[in-house]
Structure 1
Amino acid sequence: MKKIITANTAPDAIGPYSHANQFSNLIFTSGQLPICKEKGGVVNGGITEQSQQSIKNLKAVVEAGGGSLETVLKTTCYLSDINDFAAFNNVYSDFFKTDCPARSCFAVKDLPLGVKIEIEAIAYCK
């Protein structure tokens, strides 16, 4: 049976979707934007700051479902500018150091709210 996951520390969804769904021991997250719940908007700065916030939000959602960054199996990352790939990779490697998840990374034309990054994941619960 599907279970809806809501992370109290992640920003509210900006549309008709949940933070994540859990089915059996798998967690399927929605895309996490670089929105800071405490400040109430997109974080200031460029791709580095936005990548950090998106991954922090992803972490909060996965943890709300009983997982962790270590249990992430796959991420899909969307960049508004492929020239940001190296800087994004630097931030990503700060959070995923060893036994990294599988990953796809795409450059897309536009992202919601004009952000530079969006990240979604599939993880498992311990």
Structure 2
Amino acid sequence: MPNRAVIKTDKAPAAIGSYSQAVKVDNTVYLSGQIPLDPQTMEIVSGDFAAQARQVFRNLSAVCEAANGSLQHIVKLNLYLTDLSNFATVNEVMAEFFEEPYPARAAVGVKELPKGSLFEAEGVMVI
């Protein structure tokens, strides 16, 4: 495929499966799901849901930067929560990382996520 590039950075967790951190095609970057892994230890960060959400957004930010973009370039964001009672908290944490205009977004309740994480986010960025 022409104009396709794999995005990789050591400032975000390495892939724990058969996927890339992100793939860029022309000016669109498809960001793989990030869970709250510390990129240095590859362990889930300790703390509550808010701490995990902050790590997820830090990880997404690192991948965006590796693709010469930022969280502000995300146009579509998908959020996965193992407990939808954390919906208000994810909105509060997201406001720490994003400015208006916010990306289009979905929030989905799921039974479980890799490594027992409480939250995962993935998206599409245009640069």
Give me the TM-score of the superposition, normalised by structure 2.
0.95
Q: Percent identity?
A: 38
What is the SS of the residue equivalent to 1:35? coil
Residue 53 (structure 2) aligns with: 51
Instruction: Tell me how far apart the structure 1 counterparts of residues 21 and 41 of structure 2 sit (CA, whole Å).
Output: 19
| TM-align CA RMSD | 0.9
Deviates more, 1:31-40 or 1:48-57: 31-40
Instruction: Tell me how far apart the structure 1 counterparts of residues 41 and 14 of structure 2 sit (CA, whole Å).
Output: 12
User: How much has 1:80 moved relative to structure 2?
Assistant: 0.5
User: How much has 1:63 moved relative to structure 2?
Assistant: 1.1
Question: Which whole-Å deviations, capped at 9, do the CAs of 1:45-100 have from their partners, x for residues lacking one?
Answer: 11100000000000001111111111110100000000111111110111112111
What is the SS of the residue equivalent to 2:100? coil
Structure 2 spans left out of the alignment, 5+ residues: none
Instruction: Tell me how far apart the structure 2 counterparts of residues 23 and 40 of structure 1 sit (CA, whole Å).
Output: 28
**Segments ≥4 residues shifted beyond 6 Å:** none
What is the SS of the residue equivalent to 2:34? coil
Question: Which whole-Å deviations, capped at 9, do the CAs of 1:1-55 have from their partners, x for residues lacking one?
Answer: 2211102200111101000000000000100010011233100011100000000
Structure 1 spans left out of the alignment, 5+ residues: none
Give me the TM-score of the superposition, normalised by structure 1.
0.96
Amino acid in structure 2 at the alignment position of 1:12: A
Q: How is 1:1-126 mapped onto 2 (pairs within 5 angstroms)?
A: 1=2, 2-125=4-127
Instruction: Tell me how far apart the structure 2 counterparts of residues 37 and 69 of structure 1 sit (CA, whole Å).
Output: 18
Aligned residues: 125
Amino acid in structure 2 at the alignment position of 1:41: E
